[in-house]
Amino acid sequence: MIENIVPNTLKKVVEEISNLPGYGEKSAQRLAVSILNMPRGESLELIKTFMELLEKVHPCRECGIYTEEEICSICRSEDRDKSIICVVEESFDAFAVERTGKFRGLYHVIGGRLSPLEEITPEDLNISTLIERVNKLHVKEVILATNPTVEGEATASYIYNLLKNKDITISRIGYGLPFGAVLENADDFTLSKALEHKTKL
């Protein structure tokens, strides 16, 4: 019988990291080893920062964007056009759109995308709260800026069907983005063009 020489604590850390989306066992091992190889002061500072992240950062009560306040600065701003909502999958998608400086409305983070294979249903996403905000704020336009992937398209289609009978304009973010891309990884110019060339559904 071959003895397992991997320290139990290291094994546990690798297993926990492997449970995160996008991490397999090999990438989890590399991350764990990278932390072990850091100078002790730096690794402790990293862990401290993670603790602060968990303590301070949470979704905005209104739109779902990650913030350190109860209501984020965008939702509180008097300069934003509250008649337009841009729907995105995750906070970093909203951050990416915001960097373009081309959008002055509000955001709504649904927290993912529909995926039958991963058993992610509409009930798992912040879609019902989107409908509530559309009604409460008397929204005139909803821009569906879910990622241009199969799941993102299915999610946009689902939301469109929920909103299509309301007296509002429903737009889909323009395809300045290549199919299969992720908003967070797109450059600012491409995102700007995608916003400028959004299409009415």
CATH topology of domain 77-200: Dna Topoisomerase Vi A Subunit; Chain: A, domain 2 (3.40.1360)
Q: What is the mean pLDDT of the chain?
A: 90
Encoded amino acid at 177, one letter: L
Encoded amino acid at 170, one letter: I
3-state SS of 69-121? Answer: CCCCHHHHCCCCEEEEEEEECCHHHHHHHHHCCCCCEEEEECCCCCEHHHCEC
Domain(s) labelled CATH 1.10.8.420 in the chain stretch across 8-56
Q: What is the pLDDT of residue 177?
A: 67
- Pairwise CA distance, residues 58 & 91, whole Å: 11
The percent of the chain in helix, strand and coil, each rounded to the nearest 5, is 45, 15, 40
- Pairwise CA distance, residues 96 & 173, whole Å: 13
Q: What is the pLDDT of residue 196?
A: 72
Task: Say if CB 27 and CB 15 are below 8 A apart.
Answer: no
Q: What is the pLDDT of residue 124?
A: 94
- Pairwise CA distance, residues 26 & 5, whole Å: 17
Smallest CA-to-CA distance from 105 within 152, 131, 141 is with 141
State whether the Cα torsion 49-50-55-60 is positive or negative: positive
- The class that CATH gives domain 8-56 is mainly alpha
Q: What is the pLDDT of residue 55?
A: 97
Q: What are phi and psi of 134, to 5 degrees?
A: -60, -45
Tell the burial category of 31 from Cβ atoms under 10 Å away from its Cβ (0-12, 13-18, 19+): middle
Mean pLDDT in each 10-residue stretch from start to end of the chain (201 residues)?
Answer: 76 93 91 95 95 97 97 96 97 95 96 90 94 95 91 94 95 75 76 74 70
Domain(s) labelled CATH 3.40.1360.10 in the chain stretch across 77-200
Task: Say if CB 124 and CB 76 are below 8 A apart.
Answer: no
